[in-house]
């Protein structure tokens, strides 16, 4: 069990209640930049870690123990959903994830099986129960899912891609087929997240990693619309929801009527412009460029200060990177980042 004072900074910041410093966690905080994670991975492959609650709990807690982050995030992957729907999922060494067969025809959409989704993903619920019991209310646990559009890109492309040819071909040649897939994913993601909430997660984040490949005018009908539906489906559960999209202010703007609680801002976006646009109605999360952490301490400090000062002293900011941490970031630089955010933001809030 992790023993510290109960830490409500993350939830309080989202609710814009007073905080004495800015909370920090980082996307992909459990992962290959941590030596203790790699030790677990030497013995177990990635999906085994996701599917074994004891192992998922261990790696979820590793960054909390080491850095005392203000939130934990469930260790899993967005691609367990396509697997539960019936695609075969493999993580090939150095090639990234592979899903087969690709979803290309109407029959491929019809073959996806949403029944019993909660049972097929019950290992996630079991991990959530074990993690929250270990955290014992001291640090909040974030549950997550990919957005319907982001999940659809992986399901249709089948493997990492540069040009997203298959999903874009479907978008322009048979939009109805893509919409039925997105409808099915919206229902699946909603049910999956409700299962996580019932198991005990205290917050939700939806990752829309690939919405930014859409032309701006197609972002609402093919990505934002479905995330907004999920937010509506979760409304009665009283758990704050963050929408993270990667694709700049133009996309973030289209989330301004989402009724989510927090918007994740990528590193390409000017935080002060995002605050002007969204800061009244939403808390904001972000947005340090993840590659800043290759820099020396002077650079890291300067960039952190810029972000904290731009947001200012009021509540409503959760410090994070603008996307996931990279596997070869020096772990000492992460420790320095956490200390720096605490030091500077404490002064700012004093
Ligand atoms: O943030 C956390 O610490 C929680 C765990 C988490 C993972 N993946 C673990 C993981 C979360 C929240 C994710 C989300 C995820 N997965 C996204 C959305 C966020 C983003 O980064 O854009 C996406 C697109 C995926 C799909 C995925 N999973 C890819 C493309 C890859 C391979 C590329 C890579 O980074 O290696 C993964 C594998 C993966 N997911 C790893 C981890 C720790 C590395 C696997 C390993 O240990 O070898």
Pair of tokens at residue 53: 């609650």
**Mean pLDDT, all residues of the chain:** 96
Residue among 55, 23, 44 nearest 142 (CA): 23
* CA-nearest residue, atom 7 of ligand 1: 77
- Give the pLDDT confidence of 263-297 residue by residue, as tens digits: 999 999 999 999 999 999 999 999 999 999 999 99
CB–CB of 50/95 below 8 Å?
Answer: no
Tell me what the mean pLDDT of segment 38-50 comes to. 97
Decide the pairing of beta strands 88-92 and 72-73. Answer: unpaired
CB–CB of 208/243 below 8 Å?
Answer: yes
> From the alpha carbon of 160, which atom of ligand 1 is closest?
30
Judge if pTM exceeds 0.85: yes
Q: Is the pLDDT of residue 206 over 50?
A: yes
Q: Is the pLDDT of residue 243 over 90?
A: yes
Ligand 1 pocket mutation pick from 27, 29, 31 by most atoms within 8 angstroms of CB = 31
Helix or strand run (H / E) with residue 283? strand 283-288
* CA-nearest residue, atom 18 of ligand 1: 207
- Give the pLDDT confidence of 69-120 residue by residue, as tens digits: 999 999 999 999 999 999 999 998 888 999 999 999 999 999 999 999 999 9
pLDDT score for 3: 47
pLDDT score for 271: 97
Q: Is the pLDDT of residue 59 over 80?
A: yes
Any atom of ligand 1 within 6 Å of the Cβ of 25:
no
> From the alpha carbon of 32, which atom of ligand 1 is closest?
47
32 is known as an active-site residue: yes
Helix or strand run (H / E) with residue 319? strand 317-321
- What pLDDT band is residue 6 in, cutting at 50, 70 and 90? confident
Cα separations (Å) of 190 from 25, 129, 229, 271? Answer: 24, 19, 9, 29
d(CA 251, CA 209): 12
Q: How far is the CA of 326 from the centre of ligand 1 (A)?
A: 10
77 is known as an active-site residue: yes
pLDDT score for 183: 98
User: Which residues, listed in sequence order, are joined to residue 104 by a DSSP beta bridge?
Assistant: none
Q: Is the pLDDT of residue 154 over 90?
A: yes
Q: What percent of the chain has pLDDT over 90?
A: 96
219 is known as an active-site residue: no
* DSSP secondary structure letters along 232-272: HHHGGG---EEEEE-S-HHHHHTTTTS--SEEE--TTS-HH
């Amino acid at each position: 069990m992790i023993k510290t004072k109960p830490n409500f900074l993350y939830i309080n910041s989202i609710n814009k209640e007073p905080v004495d410093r800015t909370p920090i966690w980082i996307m992909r905080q459990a992962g290959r930049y941590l030596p203790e994670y790699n030790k677990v991975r030497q013995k177990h492959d990635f999906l085994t870690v996701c599917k074994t609650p004891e192992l998922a709990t261990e790696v979820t807690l590793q960054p909390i123990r080491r850095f005392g982050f203000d939130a934990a995030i469930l260790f899993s992957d967005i691609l367990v959903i396509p697997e539960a729907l019936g695609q075969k999922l493999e993580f090939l060494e150095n090639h990234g994830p592979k899903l087969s067969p690709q979803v290309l025809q109407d029959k491929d959409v019809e073959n996806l099986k949403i029944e019993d989704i909660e049972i097929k993903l019950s290992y996630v619920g079991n991990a959530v129960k074990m993690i929250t019991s270990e955290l014992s209310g001291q640090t909040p646990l974030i549950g997550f899912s990919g957005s319907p559009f982001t999940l659809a890109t992986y399901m249709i492309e089948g493997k990492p891609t540069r040009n997203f040819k298959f999903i874009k071909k479907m978008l322009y040649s048979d939009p109805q087929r893509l919409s039925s897939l997105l409808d099915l994913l919206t229902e699946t993601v909603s049910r999956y997240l409700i299962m996580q909430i019932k198991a005990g997660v205290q917050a939700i984040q939806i990752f829309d990693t690939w919405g930014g490949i859409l032309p701006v005018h197609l972002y609402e009908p093919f990505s934002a619309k479905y995330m907004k539906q999920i937010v509506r489906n979760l409304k009665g559960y009283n758990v704050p929801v963050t929408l993270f999209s990667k694709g700049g202010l133009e996309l973030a703007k289209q989330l301004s009527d989402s009724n989510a609680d927090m918007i994740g801002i990528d590193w390409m976006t000017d935080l002060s412009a995002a605050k002007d646009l969204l800061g009244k109605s939403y808390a904001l999360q972000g947005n340090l460029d993840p590659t800043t952490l290759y820099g020396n301490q002077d650079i890291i400090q300067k960039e952190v200060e810029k972000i904290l000062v731009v947001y200012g002293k009021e509540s409503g900011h959760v410090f994070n990177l603008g996307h996931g941490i990279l596997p070869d970031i020096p772990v000492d630089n992460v420790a320095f980042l956490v200390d720096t955010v605490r030091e500077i933001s404490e002064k700012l809030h004093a």
